[in-house]
Amino acid sequence: MGHTISRRGLLQGAAGVAAASTLAGCAMGGDDAEDDAKGETSASNPLGVKEDAPLEVVIFNGGFGEEYAKAHEAMYRQRHPQAEIKHSATQQIAETLQPRFVAGDPPDVVNNSGGSQIDFNGLVSQGALADLGELLDAPSLDDPDTKVRDTLLPGIVDVGSYDGKFLSLNYAYSAYGIWYSQKLFEAKGWAYPRTWDDMIALCKQIKAAGIAPWTYPGKHARYMSWPILAAAGKMGGLDVIKAIDNLEPNAWKHDAVKAAAEAYYQLAVDGYLQPGAEGMDHVQSQTEWCRGKAAFVSCGSWLENEQKAVTPPDFRMAVAPTPSLTTSDKMPYEAFRGTGSEPFVVPSKGKNVRGGLEYLRVMLSRQGAADFTRKVSSLTCVRGSSEGIDLGPGLTSVTGLIDASKGTAFTWLYSSYYRKLERERVDAASAELYAKRITAAQWCDKIQKSADEFAQDPAIKKYKRA
C-alpha cells in the first residue's frame, strides 16, 4: 500500500499496532486540564489565542507530504505574527509522540495518521484529546456570521466523534462509489445503471463484449464490502448502519444487509468478476481496470491520484453511487458513502490548546482548504473549497457526486471504532464470499458472529452512535 495509506479512511486505522497497549496502560491526563496559553477573546480572535504563545505542529509525512502544512502555518503566522511555530514531520507518529503523550508534554497539533498512528481508542479513553466542540461553534475565518460547523461536509463531525465529543478533525474527504471509464462507456453506448436489475443487465452486455464487468482486490476484499453496506444503508435507512456501528445483535442479519449481500454475491455466481482478481491487491486490480480489462471497480476518491502513473490520458474515470436495490429504498439513488480521512487532533495537555484550535480554524478556511487541494490533489472536508480549481476527471466527478447527493451522503463508523473487525473479519469473510466459498447468508452469519465477539469482549472499549 506504500504511501497511499494516508489517503484511505485513516480514522479507520484506529489501532496503532504497538501504541495501543502501551497507551492504554499509561495515564495521559484528562481533557479537563486548562491550557497555559489563553488570551483575550475578540471578534478577530474568537478562540482567545495568546498572541505570543508558541505553537508546535507535527505532521504525518505520508502521501500528502508536509508542504501543505507549511502553507497553513504561514497563514497562522500572518494572523498571529508574534507566535513562534515549531514544525516537524515524521512517518513514525506513534514512536515519536507516544512517549510525549505519556509524559504530559505533547505538541499542540498532531496529524495522527499513517500506519503508525497512535491508537485512537487509547487516546480517547485516557482523555488525551481536547474537545473540538468550541471550534465547531466558532465563526469561520471567511464569514463571521457562519459557524465552522456549517462549512463542513456531511459526516465529518460524526466520523470524528467519540462518546458524543468531537475529538478528531478528518481534514481530507473521501467519497466512495463505483468507478468506470467515461470513454469506454461512451464508446460502447453504455449508461451507468441506477438500479440493481439494470446493473445485472449491463454486466451481461459487458461480458458479451469481451470485458470483465467487475474487478476487485481479492487480497483486500473489504473494498467489496463497501458497496454491500452502502446498498444496505440506502435500502433500509441509516438505522441499519447505526445498528452495525453499535454492535447490536443481528445487525449484520438485517433484511437490507442480506439483500445487498445477495445482490453482490450474484456478481460472483454469474461470472461477472474478472478471473484472477481473487489473487490481486488493490493496485493490481485498479491497474487492470485502467487498462480496460474490467468495467467497474469499487474504491474511494483517492483512486485518481493512486493510479495517475498508469491511467491513459483519455480514460476519463468517473464515480457513481451504488445502484438502488429496490424502487422503495429509503435513501435516494444519489446517496453515497462520504467520510473524512487524515485526522488532526489537539492534545488536551498541549501548552497552547487555544492555538491548536485556531490552527484548525485556519485549515478550515477556504484559502487553507483550496491550497491543500492544489498541492495534494485531494478534496477537503470544507464545502465548496474546490471551486475554481482545475481538477482531474476523477475529482471533478467526485464533486458532481457530492453536489447531486444534496446532503444525503452517509457513512459508517464501525471500522473507526473497531478497526480489526473490518480489517480482519469482514475482509476475510468478503474474500470467501467473492470466491464463492461461502454464500451471502453465511457471510452475514460469519460477520455477525465476529461482531458479537467484539461486543462481548470487556477489553474492547465500546462506542455508541446516536
Q: Per residue in 361-394, pLDDT tens?
A: 999 999 999 999 988 888 999 998 998 999 999 9
**323 within 8 A of 143, measured Cβ to Cβ:** no
The CATH 3.40.190.10 portion of the chain extends over 2-174+339-390, 176-337+414-456
Q: Give the pLDDT score at 115.
A: 73
Average pLDDT over residues 2-6: 31
What is the pLDDT of the chain when averaged over all its residues?
A: 91
Q: Give the pLDDT score at 377.
A: 83
Q: Is the pLDDT of residue 114 over 90?
A: no
Residue with cell 453482490: 264
Average pLDDT over residues 345-350: 97
**173 within 8 A of 151, measured Cβ to Cβ:** no
How distant, in Å, are the alpha carbons of 5, 7, 221, 399, 458 from that of 1? Answer: 6, 10, 14, 25, 32
Q: Is the pLDDT of residue 63 over 80?
A: no
pLDDT tens digits, one per residue of 299-339: 998 899 889 899 999 999 999 999 999 999 999 999 999 99
Q: Give the pLDDT score at 40.
A: 87
Range among 38-42, 117-121, 422-426 with highest mean pLDDT value: 422-426
Q: How far apart are CA 292 and CA 295, in angstroms?
A: 7
Q: Give the pLDDT score at 36.
A: 55
Q: Is the pLDDT of residue 28 over 70?
A: no
Q: Give the pLDDT score at 20.
A: 40
Backbone angles phi, psi at 404, to 5 degrees: -70, -25
Q: Which fold has domain 176-337+414-456?
A: D-Maltodextrin-Binding Protein; domain 2 (3.40.190)
Q: Is the pLDDT of residue 64 over 80?
A: yes
% residues pLDDT > 90 (the chain): 79
Q: Give the pLDDT score at 122.
A: 83
Q: Give the pLDDT score at 326.
A: 96
Q: Is the pLDDT of residue 33 over 90?
A: no
**162 within 8 A of 131, measured Cβ to Cβ:** no
Q: Which fold has domain 2-174+339-390?
A: D-Maltodextrin-Binding Protein; domain 2 (3.40.190)
Residue of 172 and 119 predicted with greater confidence:
172
Residue 176: is it exposed, middle or buried by C-beta count within 10 angstroms (0-12/13-18/19+)?
A: buried
Q: How far apart are CA 339 and CA 56, in angstroms?
A: 27
Per DSSP, what are the bridge partners of residue 341? 172
Average pLDDT over residues 262-286: 97
Q: How confident is the model at residue 57 (pLDDT cuts 50, 70, 90)?
A: very high
Say what the pTM is: 0.83
